[in-house]
A and B are shown apart, each in its own frame.
Chain A
Amino acid sequence: MNTLTHTQDMLAFAWWIALSVSVLLYIMLDGADLGAGILTLFLGDEDERGAVMAAMAGTWDANETWLVVAGGVLFGTFPFVYGSAFTYLMVPLALVLWGIMTRAVALEFRHLAEPRWRRFSDWAFGLSSLGTTFFGGVAVGAALKGFPMTHPAHGIPTYVGGALRFLSPFSLWTGAAAVLAVMLAGGLFIRARFKRGEPIRDHVARWTDPAFYAALACVAITVGWSALIFPWAAQKWFGPQFWIWGVLLIAALFATARMRRATRDERDLAAILWFNLTVAILGVAMIATMYPWLVPNTWTIYSGASPQVSMITFTLAMAGFFPVMVMYNWYQLWVFRARISKLVSYHD
């Protein structure tokens, strides 16, 4: 069912780019926060845990905003996908939401908690970071597999198939892979956010090596597995345009190598930027592989789009609101860019 005009097709495509950018930005920005949160599970020193939280205190909310923006674009422009995919993903999304909720409370209220509660709330923070990442990864893996829908004669197909259909070896694997990948991001984040000579930096440095190889293995396994079970992916990767994917792979490997060198040279900011370039290349490659599917074998960008995407609303959002918001967010990151030490207290 495609009722869109040619212009609307182009607008749906443009919104799809905006959606992809939001999702990728969310993964890059909050991924570091989530990974640092998981790493706090391995920090024995209460002040260090507190300092990790303080390091993200001014920005976590703005980072999470990209998830909400992605949700908003999905609902506003691809409501048919939103209304069916989210029902399919109910269980993992509920778990992600509980994780986000717990994390927000543990983070925002830590400075007020009694010392004996602080231990509990620190555990809650670490575990909720872990849970959010894992079930977020599960949701992505489950979405890649697609889902069954009703076939109404009139009206919009919607999800049928039960609450546990999201479970598969592949989706559980993508959950685990997400955890390992964000731990690398979290390690790089902690190294960049703390002053040189802080013990936590050296502590985390010991982690980044194994985390790097684990993340590399995760990506390789995920790509291999996808090629085996997803014909839509294999057709593109091994089709006549195979060289495009080859170039992307080489670019990703190059960025990864640069990240390793920057890590070794203690150029922490450069390491994060190269890491995020790798993430961006892999993310773009994955999204491009899926095209024109938004949810493989279920919704394309064009069948899932609102029949009323219009030039006016798109221009309003992209030319009006979006640049201003990005500018404000950037300014905020700029103000809070300084390195901190372990003894930084949350609210002073």
Chain B
Amino acid sequence: MTTSDLSAFISRLDFAWITTFHIIYPPLTIGLAAMLFIAEWRWVATQDPYWYRLCRFFEKLFVVNFGAGVATGVTMEMAFGILYGPFSQAAGPFFGQVLGYETITAFMYEAGFIGLMLFGWGKISRGMHLFATFNVAFASTLSAFWILDANSWMQTPGGVTLKDGVFQISDWAKAILNPDFLYAMPHMVVASIELSLCFVAAVSAWYILGRRHVALFRRALLWSVLTLIVVAPLQIWLGDGLGRVVAHDQPAALAAMEGHYNTLTPTGQPNTGWHVVAWPNAKGDGTVWAITIPHVLSLLETHSWNGTVPGLNDFPKDQRPPVVIPFYAFRAMVAIGGVLFLVALWAAWLAVRGRLSVERIASNRWFLRALIVSGFLPYLAVWTGWWTREIARQPWVVYGLMRTRDGVSHLSAAAAIFWLVGFMLFELMVWGGAWYFFAKVIRRGPDLDSPIPAPGTESLGHLETDPDEDEEAGYFRPV
């Protein structure tokens, strides 16, 4: 490994670290915001105080998560220019433009409403507050739209031509609606919803297991797991669709994800075997050992019994991605998707049997424990999914057009290590803080006593009611 290879490799780790420790937060922001909106809407519509209490309680967890997401997210926007300067310059006309839209239509949009949502209770009318919550949910989903668009363009870069070292956009529609995006965007949005459903279900299950606030959290649990019955299979279907896009547009990435080394068997037949588990040999042209099921790979990728799937040996050596991480990360993600579906089925079966009623729900000890574990699994699925996606794209930063080593900044290894160590320290602090405060809010439990803001009593601040401040009635914080 030469010096520049080493610093390029550490720069990749730098970026891998900050993305890995940022992607923990946005999915919960996206999904939980939508759930908060639904709960608040039910409250406004039915006046049922349970909805209000649930809303306020999960909002506390939302704040912690949102703060951590912003703290780690500002870094992301700067990091492209710092760590991947030449890539940012070349891809800027499309990629930078899309990220610019994200900041304006999503980040800024969200920031305009989040303060109202968190601190506006009782200060603004119920309808206005509901509108603020809706906008937070909508803006965060919009954010996922743009981010996934930028990333999926790196996977299937359509609509551009490379001229003078710059990706010039020849067809905006083709670039924005690139093949990967059409599946990757819904796959990520649904992942966010699934993660948030599991998160809410896990927190609720924990209370019910301890027989605290059973009636309140039964409602949160029931709504979440029953929605999961639709969402979990939907996510598997979207994942399959994305897998086939990868097979079609990024065959080398698919071969790495499946550890598929040889297109043909030694006898010249299509190699249709799908590895359940495997380990690559030292030369990297085959497996040392593997548990393989024939025909499954062809079935998965071509939906036929003996279809040909290009193996890694079809690609020049310098265009093959690494195998181990995409192979195992992909399997972990798929397995989690399956497990969550089984959990949802379990919930459906219990519901049908009438065992999720207020009186009986707490006696399903193992189900509740399984739900608590399921609260952590989607996080692992999001990580492994992104690792699969980003590592299987290598050695390209823009698939087939620009190599990672040409896109990375000219940093010294020392500078790259400085970044890595610093961000490990600070982002672990943020992560630790987030989990510590999650635990604390959850232990403390929901606030069931403070008065529910009645409609029609809201004032804009304390001005109108505070006699000392009469002469200052026109005061507002200036811009």
Could you tell me which A residues sit within 8 Å of B by CB distance? 3, 25, 28-29, 57-59, 61-62, 64-65, 67-69, 71-77, 79-80, 82-87, 89-91, 93-94, 97-98, 100-102, 104-105, 107-109, 112, 152, 154-156, 158-160, 162-163, 192-193, 195-196, 269, 272-273, 276, 306-308, 313, 317, 321-322, 324-325, 328-339, 348
- The reply to whether A313 and B97 form a contact with Cβ atoms under 8 Å apart is yes
Q: Which residue in chain A gives the minimum CB-CB distance to B160? A: A308
CA distance A3 to B475 in the complex (A): 50
CA distance A337 to B427 in the complex (A): 33
CA distance A75 to B105 in the complex (A): 15
**Which of B212-220, B323-331, B346-354, B415-423 sits within the interface?**
B415-423
Contact with A along B79-107 (1 / 0, CB 8 A): 01111111111111111111111111101
CA distance A328 to B105 in the complex (A): 12
Distance from B137 Cβ to chain A, minimum over Cβ atoms (Å): 15
- The reply to whether B411 and A90 form a contact with Cβ atoms under 8 Å apart is yes
Distance from A178 Cβ to chain B, minimum over Cβ atoms (Å): 18
CA distance A3 to B67 in the complex (A): 42
**Which of B313-321, B364-372, B429-437 sits within the interface?**
B429-437
- The reply to whether A73 and B100 form a contact with Cβ atoms under 8 Å apart is yes
Q: B426: which A residues are within 8 A, CB to CB?
A: 98, 101-102
* Cβ-defined partner of A192 (8 Å) among B82, B461, B477: B477
- The reply to whether B120 and A335 form a contact with Cβ atoms under 8 Å apart is yes
- The reply to whether A71 and B77 form a contact with Cβ atoms under 8 Å apart is yes
Number of B interface residues, CB 8 Å? 90
Distance from A162 Cβ to chain B, minimum over Cβ atoms (Å): 7
In the assembled complex, B169 has its CB within 8 A of some CB on chain A: yes
Q: Which residue in chain A gives the minimum CB-CB distance to B74? A: A100
Q: A317: which B residues are within 8 A, CB to CB?
A: 100-101, 104
* Cβ-defined partner of B119 (8 Å) among A57, A86, A313, A331: A57
- The reply to whether A307 and B97 form a contact with Cβ atoms under 8 Å apart is no
- The reply to whether A335 and B96 form a contact with Cβ atoms under 8 Å apart is no
Q: A193: which B residues are within 8 A, CB to CB?
A: 477
Q: A29: which B residues are within 8 A, CB to CB?
A: 479
CA distance A7 to B71 in the complex (A): 38
- The reply to whether A333 and B109 form a contact with Cβ atoms under 8 Å apart is no
- The reply to whether A105 and B71 form a contact with Cβ atoms under 8 Å apart is yes
In the assembled complex, B63 has its CB within 8 A of some CB on chain A: yes
Distance from B14 Cβ to chain A, minimum over Cβ atoms (Å): 10
Q: B429: which A residues are within 8 A, CB to CB?
A: 101-102, 105
Q: B114: which A residues are within 8 A, CB to CB?
A: 61
CA distance A336 to B114 in the complex (A): 13
Distance from A125 Cβ to chain B, minimum over Cβ atoms (Å): 13
- The reply to whether B85 and A87 form a contact with Cβ atoms under 8 Å apart is yes
Q: A321: which B residues are within 8 A, CB to CB?
A: 101, 104-105, 108-109
- The reply to whether A79 and B111 form a contact with Cβ atoms under 8 Å apart is no
Distance from B86 Cβ to chain A, minimum over Cβ atoms (Å): 5
* Cβ-defined partner of B412 (8 Å) among A86, A109, A163: A163
Q: Mind listing 8 A-B residue pairs with CB under 8 Å?
A: A61-B70, A72-B101, A79-B91, A82-B81, A112-B441, A156-B89, A324-B109, A337-B477
CA distance A107 to B118 in the complex (A): 14
Contact with A along B105-139 (1 / 0, CB 8 A): 10111011111101110011000000000010000
Q: Which residue in chain B gives the minimum CB-CB distance to A334? A: B476
Q: Which residue in chain B gives the minimum CB-CB distance to A312? A: B172
Q: Known: A83-B81, A325-B108. Is A162-B67 also a contact (CB below 8 A)?
A: no
Q: A101: which B residues are within 8 A, CB to CB?
A: 71-72, 74-75, 426-427, 429-430
In the assembled complex, B166 has its CB within 8 A of some CB on chain A: yes
In the assembled complex, B449 has its CB within 8 A of some CB on chain A: no
- The reply to whether B462 and A338 form a contact with Cβ atoms under 8 Å apart is yes
Distance from A322 Cβ to chain B, minimum over Cβ atoms (Å): 7
* Cβ-defined partner of A62 (8 Å) among B68, B96, B111: B111
Distance from B151 Cβ to chain A, minimum over Cβ atoms (Å): 15
Q: B359: which A residues are within 8 A, CB to CB?
A: none
CA distance A288 to B404 in the complex (A): 38
* Cβ-defined partner of B80 (8 Å) among A75, A77, A94: A75
Q: Known: A72-B104, A73-B100, A163-B414. Is A58-B85 also a contact (CB below 8 A)?
A: no
- The reply to whether B479 and A87 form a contact with Cβ atoms under 8 Å apart is no
* Cβ-defined partner of A160 (8 Å) among B96, B410, B423: B410
Q: A330: which B residues are within 8 A, CB to CB?
A: 479
Distance from A186 Cβ to chain B, minimum over Cβ atoms (Å): 14
Q: B82: which A residues are within 8 A, CB to CB?
A: 86-87, 89-90, 93-94
- The reply to whether B410 and A158 form a contact with Cβ atoms under 8 Å apart is yes
- The reply to whether B410 and A105 form a contact with Cβ atoms under 8 Å apart is no
Q: Which residue in chain B gives the minimum CB-CB distance to A95? A: B422
Q: B415: which A residues are within 8 A, CB to CB?
A: 90-91, 162-163
Q: B460: which A residues are within 8 A, CB to CB?
A: 334-335, 337-338
Distance from A272 Cβ to chain B, minimum over Cβ atoms (Å): 5
Q: B70: which A residues are within 8 A, CB to CB?
A: 61, 64, 104
CA distance A74 to B103 in the complex (A): 11
Distance from A147 Cβ to chain B, minimum over Cβ atoms (Å): 11
Q: Which residue in chain A gives the minimum CB-CB distance to B462? A: A338
Residues 434 to 479 of chain B near chain A (Cβ within 8 Å)? 437, 440-441, 450, 460-463, 466, 468-469, 472, 475-479
CA distance A89 to B440 in the complex (A): 38
Q: Known: A79-B92, A337-B477. Is A94-B103 also a contact (CB below 8 A)?
A: no
CA distance A77 to B91 in the complex (A): 11
In the assembled complex, B64 has its CB within 8 A of some CB on chain A: yes
Q: Which residue in chain B gives the minimum CB-CB distance to A124? A: B429
* Cβ-defined partner of B67 (8 Å) among A77, A108, A333: A108
- Since A156-B165, A328-B113 are in contact, a sample of 4 more A-B pairs with Cβ atoms closer than 8 Å, ordered by chain A residue number, is A57-B119, A64-B74, A69-B108, A335-B115
* Cβ-defined partner of B116 (8 Å) among A25, A67, A97, A332: A332
- The reply to whether A105 and B103 form a contact with Cβ atoms under 8 Å apart is no
Q: B427: which A residues are within 8 A, CB to CB?
A: 101
* Cβ-defined partner of B411 (8 Å) among A3, A87, A195: A87
- The reply to whether A269 and B475 form a contact with Cβ atoms under 8 Å apart is yes
Lowest 3 A-B CB distances belong to which pairs?
A: A79-B92, A155-B165, A76-B100
- The reply to whether A335 and B123 form a contact with Cβ atoms under 8 Å apart is yes
CA distance A282 to B78 in the complex (A): 26
Q: A72: which B residues are within 8 A, CB to CB?
A: 77, 99-104, 107
CA distance A330 to B478 in the complex (A): 9
Q: B29: which A residues are within 8 A, CB to CB?
A: none
Q: A80: which B residues are within 8 A, CB to CB?
A: 89, 92
